[in-house]
Structure 1
Amino acid sequence: MANEAAVMIENLILTIRGQRVMLDSDLARIYRVTTGQLNQALKRNSKRFPADFAFQLTRQELAALISQSVISKTGRGGRQTPPRVFTEHGAIMLASVLNSPLAIEASVRVVRAFVYLREQLASNKKIAQKFAELENRLDSQDESIATLFEAIRQLLEPAEPARREIGFHVKEQAYSYRVKQTTNR
């Protein structure tokens, strides 16, 4: 059950500016408050939310989210201002600001979702690292196999016949010469 909630919340986590974040409207639904109440709590406690906890999207980021159908278009009853997004730390801080038992319970689910996502990413990195190691091992084995095949090819190629030398070969009879022994005087 807890894992299912984490997976459901994980689907609401987006990557913006290189950070994993959640939209204010999604957090409001999870904490069972209105988006207005959530943003009002944020404004009242703005010192608790530095830029690495929560930030407002730019028009370009908003346009990208609209094109991906993550949020509705402004002309069709959607938002008039770009939404705020909260990092994992911002979502936890928001639960403490809202200070209701339901918000605290929901913050635990949000934290579990972020942790689950982090574990999945770490597991993917481990798999990629093992894959790279296997690839390197195969590359070295490929080189060894190529060297072996080259040696076999050289053994299978017929040896070039010995070339005949040009010219006459004269075989002389070996004479045994006698060597005079001299005595030392």
Structure 2
Amino acid sequence: MQIIQSIQNRIHEIRGERVLLDRDLAALYETETKALNLAVKRNIQRFPPDFMFQLTKEEFDALRLQNETSNVVVPVSDSLQHLRLQSETSKTGRGGTRYMPYAFTEQGVAMLSGILHSEKAINMNIAIMRAFVEVRRIIYTQLDQKQQLQEIKDRIGEHDVQLSQIYDAMENLLDEKAGQRKWDDRERIGFKQR
């Protein structure tokens, strides 16, 4: 469960898609980002634009800013931490990042299982698919809760209108009774019988 939580923390939303970056996938597969991207490039026909795309500089900067400001701590094993540090230092130079990272959608990650055959990659792919399913379930639950809240707000709004109508009717009845009392309690004119 901890690995699924770790994967969920690495899933980003870019261009309206939930994606994993190449460096995060490489860390999860315990390989180098360069090796992962090389395997993908050898099988590029398997990765159409809706499976994998390269980030623009603006997207990368926004993502980096988002990661720097988030306080989420991702638990990582020592070997994964070493690979993460290795991949982060290997792609920076004097001018910063040499290339923009690739983002893999859920279908792209599933396609990776066809080109990466190690046992670690297969097991990690299964965990990644479970993480995507869990993220989707959480989002559907949140959408359902939002819909239920909206229905409650609509009902309360209808009740407010109905209560307002009831209050108006009660005021009219009280006004009529007050008017009737005034009429009954008025001083009579004319002859009085004793």
* 2:43 aligned residue: 45
Residue 143 of structure 1 aligns to a residue whose secondary structure is helix
Structure 1 letter corresponding to 2:48: P
Provide the residue aligned with 1:126 in structure 2: 144
Correspondence for 1:135: 153
* CA–CA distance in structure 1, aligned partners of residues 106 and 12 of structure 2: 11
User: 1 CA distance for matches of 2:35 and 2:108?
Assistant: 16
Task: Give deviations 1:39-86, integer Å, cap 9, x for gaps.
Answer: 000110000111111110011111212222368995689632110010
- Residue 154 of structure 1 corresponds to 172
C-alpha separation between the residues in 1 aligned to 2:96 and 2:14?
20
Query: Which protein has the larger Cα radius of gyration, Structure 1 or Structure 2?
Result: 1
More deviation in 141-150 or 59-68?
59-68
Residue 108 of structure 1 corresponds to 126
Aligned length: 160
What are the equivalent positions in structure 2 for 1:87-106 lying under 5 Å apart?
87-106=105-124
Please tell me the residue identity of whatever aligns with 1:149: Y
Which is further off, 118-127 or 92-101? 92-101
Scaled by the length of structure 2, the TM-score of the pair is 0.75
After superposition, give the CA deviation of every residue in 1:84-130 in whole Å (9 maximum; x if it has no partner). Answer: 01001111211221111110000000000000000001111111111
State the alpha-carbon separation in 2 of the partners of residues 9 and 19 from structure 1: 16
In the superposition, the TM-score normalised over structure 1's length comes to 0.79
Amino acid at match of 2:124: A
| Structure 1 gaps, min length 5 | 163-185
Contact 1:96 1:104 in 2 (8 A): no
Deviating above 6 A after TM superposition, structure 1's stretches of 4 or more consecutive aligned residues are: none
Give the letter for the 2:28 counterpart: I
> For structure 2, which runs of at least 5 residues remain unmatched after alignment?
69-87, 184-194
Secondary structure in 1 aligned to 2:100? Answer: coil
Q: Is the helix fraction higher in 1 or 2?
A: 2
> C-alpha offsets along residues 8-42 of structure 1, whole Å, 9 cap, x if unaligned?
11010000000000110000011111000000001
Q: CA RMSD in A?
A: 2.3
Give the Cα–Cα distance (whole angstroms) in 1 for the partners of residues 55 and 124 of structure 2.
Answer: 24
Larger deviation: 53-62 or 92-101? 92-101
Instruction: Find the residue that maps to 1:85 and give its secondary structure.
Output: strand
